[in-house]
């Protein structure tokens, strides 16, 4: 997870970019922070999907096979 300090910096740099007032070094920093943020987001989302179980109205487990395969893959 991205700590508060990094998240704050990411938002500052994004604002600078929107205002077209960003240096090349800041742009490189922004790219790195975005990659870290997206990597953490994807990992978290994947874990959430792994822990999801889909049940139909009759009470049957209809979780997609892909999700079951992710869950069994360790």
Q: What is the pLDDT of residues 23-38, one digit of tens each?
A: 999 999 999 999 999 9
Q: What gap in Å lies between CA 54 and CA 74, rounded to an integer?
A: 21
Domain ranges of the chain: 4-72
Confidence of residue 73 (pLDDT cuts 50, 70, 90): confident
CB distance 46 to 70 below 8 Å: yes
CB distance 17 to 34 below 8 Å: no
Helix, strand, or coil (residue 55): strand
Model confidence over 36-64: pLDDT tens digits? 999 999 999 999 999 999 999 999 999 99
pTM: 0.76
């Amino acid at each position: 997870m991205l700590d508060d300090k990094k998240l704050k910096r990411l938002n500052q740099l994004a604002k600078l970019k929107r205002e077209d007032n960003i240096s090349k070094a800041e742009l490189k920093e922004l790219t790195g922070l975005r990659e870290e943020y997206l990597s953490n987001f994807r990992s978290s989302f994947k874990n959430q999907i792994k822990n999801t179980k889909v049940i139909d109205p009759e009470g049957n487990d209809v979780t997609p096979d892909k999700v079951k395969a992710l869950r069994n893959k360790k």
